[in-house]
């Protein structure tokens, strides 16, 4: 079954891109396809001009620098925060390297460091999301695929998560490709916005311009 048709997505290094659209439009399928969770019948995926279409998900993480932050809860509740973070380095040949990189992540996020020996189940929703993002950073990716970062979070934690993502883009130079159900928040954050309808691009442009687009406002922003 073909879900995406004639789809062309481009994002420059250090930019952010947000995909919005109704349920079932194919937004998450795009992230799955980029990372290798979904088969591609035709077309190519390239990073820095290098065709990575046929790479496995592990190789895309290890060799192409692409990490996927899942929409669904993906932490291990009975493991400590520290152990969850170490899991992010599962592809390193030496476990010591995962621990070393995790320490740098803890240095960046003292809020997590203060909880490192506690089971992950005690974390708030925002802290769990921070842990999921942090775990993806252990392999030191250049590109982050982020699926619904605000889902299930209180407004104060939504702001926190977008501040974290903004810092990763602006300070560390990460490229971010995001699916976001909160269209206003996603377009405010992103350099580029794509509106997806029935597996095709309906509207594309700078995020701030899409916020002012009457059709986007009517369909997704309550305008």
CB 16 within 8 A of CB 206: no
pLDDT score of 1: 42
Strand partners for 119: 80
- Compute how many other C-beta atoms are within 10 angstroms of the C-beta atom of residue 14: 14
**Rounded distance, CA 41 to CA 158, Å?**
36
The separation between CA 178 and the C-alpha centre of its own chain, rounded to angstroms, equals 5
**Rounded distance, CA 62 to CA 139, Å?**
7
**């602006």: which residue's tokens?**
170
pLDDT score of 2: 46
Supply φ then ψ for residue 195, to 5 degrees.
-100, 120
- Compute how many other C-beta atoms are within 10 angstroms of the C-beta atom of residue 46: 11
**What six digits make up the tokens of 215?**
């059709």
Find the Cα–Cα–Cα–Cα dihedral 102, 106, 112, 117, rounded to 10°: 60
Per-residue pLDDT of the chain (223 residues; tens, 9 = 90+): 444 556 788 899 999 999 998 887 788 889 999 998 887 777 889 998 899 999 999 999 999 999 999 877 789 999 999 999 999 999 998 889 999 999 999 999 999 999 999 999 999 999 999 999 999 999 999 999 999 999 989 998 999 999 999 999 999 999 999 999 999 999 999 999 999 887 788 889 999 999 999 888 887 766 5
**Rounded distance, CA 166 to CA 125, Å?**
19
Can you give the pTM of this predicted structure? 0.92
pLDDT score of 195: 92
DSSP H helices in the chain: 27-35, 57-62, 81-87, 95-108, 110-113, 125-137, 155-170, 183-189, 207-212, 214-220
CATH 3.40.50.300 for the 16-220 domain, yes or no: yes
pLDDT score of 202: 84
Q: In 3D, which of 136, 147, 138, 130 has the Cα closest to residue 34?
A: 147
**Rounded distance, CA 8 to CA 87, Å?**
33
Name the residue ranges covered by the structural domains of the chain: 16-220
């Amino acid at each position: 079954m073909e879900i995406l048709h004639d789809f062309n997505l481009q994002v420059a290094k250090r930019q952010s891109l947000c995909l919005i659209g109704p349920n079932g439009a194919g937004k998450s399928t795009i992230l799955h396809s980029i990372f290798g969770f979904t088969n591609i019948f035709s077309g190519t995926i390239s990073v820095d001009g290098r065709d990575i279409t046929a790479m496995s998900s592990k190789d895309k993480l290890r060799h192409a620098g692409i990490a996927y932050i899942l929409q669904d809860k993906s932490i291990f509740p009975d493991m400590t925060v520290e152990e969850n973070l170490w899991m992010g380095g599962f592809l390193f040949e030496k476990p010591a390297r995962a621990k070393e990189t995790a320490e740098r992540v803890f240095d960046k996020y003292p809020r997590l460091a203060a909880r490192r020996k506690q089971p992950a189940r005690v974390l708030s929703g925002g802290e769990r999301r921070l842990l999921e993002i942090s775990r993806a950073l252990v392999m030191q990716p250049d590109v982050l695929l982020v699926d619904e970062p605000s889902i299930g979070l209180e407004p104060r934690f939504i702001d926190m998560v977008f501040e974290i993502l903004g810092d990763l883009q602006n300070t560390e130079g990460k490229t971010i490709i995001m699916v976001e159900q909160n269209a206003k928040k996603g377009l405010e954050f992103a350099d580029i916005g794509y509106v997806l309808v029935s597996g095709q691009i309906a509207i594309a442009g700078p995020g701030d311009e899409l916020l002012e687009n009457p059709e986007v406002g009517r369909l997704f922003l309550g305008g």
